[in-house]
Amino acid sequence: MHFLTRPIAIALLGAALTAPAVWADPAAETSGPAAIVTAFNAAVTAKDLQKAATYFAPGSVQFTLRQAHPGMGGDQAESLSGDLRSHWMMVGSTVIAATKSYSRTAEITGNHADGDIATVWAKITTMSHRSDQPEAKKDEFTEVYLMVRKDGHWLIGAVADNRKPNVVAGGRPN
Under 8 Å between Cβ of 122 and 96: no
pLDDT attached to residue 69: 57
CA distances for 148 relative to 20, 58, 102, 142, angstroms = 22, 10, 28, 20
Under 8 Å between Cβ of 156 and 84: yes
CA 94 to chain CA centroid, nearest Å? 18
Label the pairing between strands 81-83 and 99-114. unpaired
Of the candidates 174, 144, 120, the residue with the CA atom closest to the CA atom of residue 63: 144
CA 1 – CA 137 distance, rounded (Å): 63
Residue 96, helix vs strand vs coil: helix
Label the pairing between strands 117-130 and 99-114. antiparallel
**H or E element at residue 164:** none
Beta-carbon-side half-sphere exposure of residue 77 (alpha carbons within 13 Å): 0
pLDDT attached to residue 132: 86
pLDDT attached to residue 117: 98
pLDDT attached to residue 30: 66
pLDDT attached to residue 24: 40
- Domains of the chain: residue spans and CATH: 29-161 (3.10.450.50)
pLDDT attached to residue 164: 82
Average pLDDT per run of 10 along the chain, which is 174 residues long? 49 41 43 96 95 97 77 57 92 87 96 97 95 90 97 96 72 42
pLDDT attached to residue 31: 83
